[in-house]
Amino acid sequence: MERRVPLVGRDHQVGVVADALRPACTAGPLFLTGAAGAGKTAVLNEARHVVVQEGATVLRPVWETVTGPGGASALADAFCGVLAEVHHGRFPTHLSAVRRAQSRLGDGGGELTLLSTLGETLADAAYHDPFALVLDGVERMPPPTASALQLMLRVFRPAGLPVVLAGRPVSWGPEVAPDLATAADRVLDLPPLGPDEVGELVGRRLGRPPEPALLAAVRRALGPLAGNPEAVLSVLTALLEDGGLVDLDGRTGLAGTEDDLRLTVDAEPLRRVTADGMDAVILAGLLHRAELRLEDVHGLSPACATLTTDLGRTVDRLVRERVLTLDGDGRLAFAVPALAAALRTLLPRRDVRSVHAAVVQRVAGRLGPATTGVCHPLLADHVAAAGSVLNDAVAVPLLLAAAGKDARSHHPRAARAYLSALRRLPPNYPATLGVLREAAELGLGCGDHVGVLALGEPILAGLRDPGPTDGGLEFATIAWGLSSLHEHRSPYDDGAVPGAVFARMPRAAMLAALGGRYGIGPLTPWPPSAEPAPDGGPLRDGHGPLPSQGELRALATAVGGHEELARAFRGRPGEEACEAAVGRLRDAAAYGDLAGALEAVLGERYVRAGHSTAGRYHAMVHDYLAGRWDDALAAARGIERRGRADGGPGTGQLARALAAEIHCFRGDLVRAREWLDLIPGSVVHPLVARARLGVRYWSGQQDAALEEAWRDVQRVRGSGLLAGVERVLLRILEFAEETRPRQARQALDQLAALHAEADTAMTREALLVARGVLHRDADGAYEAYRSAERRGDLHMMLYCCQILAEVADEPQSWLAEAARHTHLLSLGRPGRVLLGRSAQRRNVPLPRGRAAREGLSQADIQLIGMVGEGGTNRQIAARLACSEKTVEQRLARLFQRSGKRSRVELVAAWLDGSLAGLGPVPDVPPGGAAGPGARPGPAGG
């Protein structure tokens, strides 16, 4: 028999309806109600399936296909069809009684007689052959038929016949037909699904756990329909049709932007708003490009030939129906953004530029363009949307005035206004260059690097134009390059910038070469230094949001030797602060963390840009070092999706390498290889080399992995990239220690040479740890541990603990510390095996973990409950928004803690209360506990 998956969040309602359909039910009719798409039909079908499996009979009168006049006669025809399905000898008697009463409808009181006969006949049939009736979609029932049904159920109720009605909570009005809910003894409402239930529904539909960001985007796109199952499934169907989803790490996320979330074309809300014409489509197009107030809409129709009807009446209707909302300032918006996105995909695709122009001209004709921009800055978006329909004499002054007004209070709209004005202004005019600089300064000051990148078209036009230039164009060009790096793009790609530009703008040339040193774009030679061009204001060396030539040189030399970096910082005020900045800079450079490096160099002048790719990678590195590896993986997936959404294959090479590193440590080599396969072979960076070495080695290719790692070390050192090489060498030493002593000693020698050349905290730690491994130097390993603790590098601390557990005088405390870090990092079975090996070498027991307070945690109880419901690992993963492997690992830990060997034993022990007294549990078992299919992976280095 096919196993049916239970409905999400409707277990209680299915149970109530099933009880109402059972023959033993003595309660009166039940009315199941809920909004459109709430799942009334699904609940009815599931409840019907439940009672049918028990042997009950459930019939559905087919009133939709009944022809002829409605009312009692149509009801009689529908119920006669039901009686035909009740097989017993009294059927001819039943049918003739109903037909006789139906033939006397023209007589006075004939309808009441027919309804009375129907009630008695149905009751008699149910007595001899028990069955139940369900009537779905009763809100679509013709008013006369609905009135007759209400009268029959209230006055001539068939005794002993269970009846369940289902319909929306919408009344036709007293003058048309009664509300059928009044004919029922009980009303059961289907509430919206909760956030967790929506997550479970999405996971079931996609077959994989969804990203939390995807769930949040779906909820925002649906607004008041966020808990409506049909609306949620409609959005997911549209995303699948449009290819708007991407799978990474076993989770599904949004490939594009949130604006892409739409309802399908057959969705009920879409059919409803387009039933009276296409004005709603025009409104969706207008509101997508600019804000509209209620006062802007009324009176537009006579001036716009585009509009087929009075747009004001359409707006009034949609506001009454709550399709549109009004805020306190009278601004219009679609209550369900996914509905507006679906409307924008519909034909006809009308050119509504004249409507935008009319909105502007109504105000500008009265106040003048500049005054209109100051007093009504929101009209700038209408100017941009109007395009060439609005002449430049009106558009440009209005845009510039609005941008100046909005620069401090509403940055996104000001940025759009500047960009729209620049597209209308000729390149290289003094006024144009001033506007270009203002726009670039605004973007940098707000950390809006995507907005600065949008200035590329007018910047390139200015660079190609032979006319006069000034500092405004240079500032914008350098800002454009800096923003490119923040979005992990190689600045001035594809040869779009003439080569002569770099000769007169040395900082632009430096930015073009800086990216490769931080894993962004190809690695190119550093350009020769040049004196900065004289300029005032923010472009002056060492002031404003842009790095100076000296600061760019410091950023570049941070990946190399300490002597060159010391020269770059020489002469800067505040020796102690400078030393701390150098330390932060070297740490950031080792991971290619551009945002962290800029913050170390620029200090208070750096504007944090957490929404940029560099800002997200900075947070990822911080989470990695702090041991929050699940958060780091989520950041990696976000960076990957962001890169693909921009139309490219993704550009976060170092984020991919760090994600592969995490999966490798956790023993999931399949996903580690998936991340590594996204990195082109031409990428040269120590972090990439480090990840490749670990994945190859633990995949069983030990010799090839070490050989390729030595080649990678030569490549990165030959390219001048020293920061981060120490961890590659340390990993080589770790892998070669037991079986390849010559390579281990070679790695130690190279670490010593690297530390002499780079002299960073990380090279010193690596050298001390390497000596602790080969020379059994406990003091050096402890010093490295304290240094890693100051830097907040949890994984390096774990490796030091493992070394100290083998070389220190008292290993027990270091084993306990290593066990704690192993638990925090969720390392796989190999990490636990290494701990067990260290304990065996020192002949000490493994540490015991914390006591299980009150037996089980709430998360454990929830998991056992879902197992008891018969949920598979996939279904449980979808409900918990995690991977199937995580479910397997949690179950494995529960089996170990409880001593049970199967799901049945685990649930039985929970039900009989024997799990409540769980005592101390080991966090780190000797053999480890890993889910099925887990592959070996490293634990340190």
Residue 730 pLDDT > 90: yes
Q: Which residue has the higher pLDDT, 539 or 446?
A: 446
Task: Determine the number of helices (DSSP H) and then strands (DSSP E) in the chain.
Answer: 46, 9
Q: Which residue has the higher pLDDT, 916 or 722?
A: 722
Residue 476 pLDDT > 50: yes
* Mean pLDDT for the stretch of residues 9-37: 89
* Mean pLDDT for the stretch of residues 766-793: 93
Would you state the pLDDT for residue 453?
A: 92
DSSP bridge pairs for 59: 133
Would you state the pLDDT for residue 73?
A: 83
Which H or E run contains 125?
helix 110-128
Which H or E run contains 623?
helix 613-626
In the chain, the largest separation of any two C-alpha atoms, in whole Å, equals: 112
Which H or E run contains 17?
helix 11-21
pLDDT band at 574 (very low <50, low <70, confident <90, very high): low
Would you state the pLDDT for residue 304?
A: 59
Rg (CA), the chain: 36
* Mean pLDDT for the stretch of residues 456-473: 79
For residues 907 and 894, is the Cβ–Cβ distance under 8 A? no
Would you state the pLDDT for residue 108?
A: 57
Q: Which residue has the higher pLDDT, 219 or 143?
A: 219
* Mean pLDDT for the stretch of residues 775-800: 92
Would you state the pLDDT for residue 180?
A: 83
Instruction: Report how far residue 448's alpha carbon sits from residue 442's, in angstroms, rounded to the nearest whole number.
Output: 8
Poorest-pLDDT segment among 365-374, 810-819, 841-850: 841-850
Q: Supply φ then ψ for residue 766, to 5 degrees.
A: -60, -40
Poorest-pLDDT segment among 27-41, 91-105, 438-452, 758-772: 91-105
Would you state the pLDDT for residue 40?
A: 92
* Mean pLDDT for the stretch of residues 510-526: 90
Residue 229 pLDDT > 50: yes
Would you state the pLDDT for residue 228?
A: 93
Dihedral (Cα; 558, 562, 567, 568), 10-degree rounding: 10
Residue 758 pLDDT > 50: yes
pLDDT band at 5 (very low <50, low <70, confident <90, very high): low
Region class of 130: left (phi > 0), else alpha (psi between -120 and 50), else beta:
beta
pLDDT band at 538 (very low <50, low <70, confident <90, very high): very low
Q: What is the mean pLDDT of the chain?
A: 83
pLDDT per residue over 680-724, tens digit each?
988 889 999 999 999 999 888 999 999 999 999 999 999 999 999
Cα dist from 43 to 16, 34, 201, whole Å = 10, 11, 15
Would you state the pLDDT for residue 849?
A: 47
In our burial notation (b when 16+ CB lie closer than 10 A, e otherwise), range 754-777 reads bbeebebbbbbbbbbbbbbbeeeb
Instruction: Report how far residue 332's alpha carbon sits from residue 355's, in angstroms, rounded to the nearest whole number.
Output: 16
Outline where 465-524 has alpha helix (H). Answer: 471-486, 499-504, 506-517
Poorest-pLDDT segment among 14-18, 595-599, 674-678, 833-837: 833-837
pLDDT band at 87 (very low <50, low <70, confident <90, very high): low
Q: Helices 725-736 and 741-758, interaxial angle, to 10°?
A: 160
pLDDT per residue over 602-643, tens digit each?
988 998 888 899 999 999 999 999 999 999 999 999 999 888
Would you state the pLDDT for residue 663?
A: 92
Q: Which residue has the higher pLDDT, 684 or 877?
A: 684
Would you state the pLDDT for residue 227?
A: 92
Outline where 175-211 has alpha helix (H). Answer: 195-206
Strand spans (E) along 120-243: 132-135, 163-167, 186-189
* Mean pLDDT for the stretch of residues 259-283: 86
The SS3 of residue 300 is coil
Would you state the pLDDT for residue 853?
A: 36
Would you state the pLDDT for residue 116?
A: 87
SS3 content of the chain, % helix, strand, coil (to 5): 60, 5, 35
pLDDT per residue over 338-396, tens digit each?
999 999 988 656 678 888 888 898 888 889 999 999 998 989 999 999 998 899 999 99
Place of tokens 């950041």: 635
Q: For the chain, what percent of residues have pLDDT higher than 90? A: 40
pLDDT band at 840 (very low <50, low <70, confident <90, very high): confident
